[in-house]
């Protein structure tokens, strides 16, 4: 499955990645070659529970054609 096929909010791991859990946060369609994702494993406990705002630099641009595994 490709990252572009997931909907926003779905959690996944990269097929050839580092086994970290990510969440797709935006879908840029055909406008760009990337989608914005957030690495759940890199968040602080306060950010995971929603008690702290997640800094914008924690969102990463990922290749929308990357192979992913749905979690």
Residue 12 CB neighbours (<10 A): 21
pLDDT of 65: 94
Query: What pairing do the DSSP bridges indicate for beta strands 22-24 and 34-39?
Result: antiparallel
User: pLDDT digit of tens for each residue in the chain (71 aa)?
Assistant: 999 999 999 999 999 988 999 999 998 877 889 999 999 999 999 999 999 999 999 999 999 999 999 99
Residue span of the structural domain in which 30 resides: 3-70
Count of domains for the chain: 1
CB 67 within 8 A of CB 14: yes
Q: 36 Cβ partners below 8 Å, 6+ apart?
A: 24, 25, 26, 28, 59, 60, 61, 62
**Long-range contacts: 39-45, Cβ < 8 Å, 24+?**
40/11
pLDDT of 6: 95
């Amino acid at each position: 499955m490709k990252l572009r096929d997931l909907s926003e909010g779905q959690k996944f791991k990269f097929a050839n990645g580092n086994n970290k859990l990510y969440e797709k946060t935006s879908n840029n369609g055909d406008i760009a070659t990337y989608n914005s994702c957030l690495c759940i494993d890199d968040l602080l406990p306060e950010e995971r529970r929603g008690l702290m705002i997640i800094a914008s630099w924690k969102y990463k641009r990922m290749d929308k054609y990357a192979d992913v595994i749905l979690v």
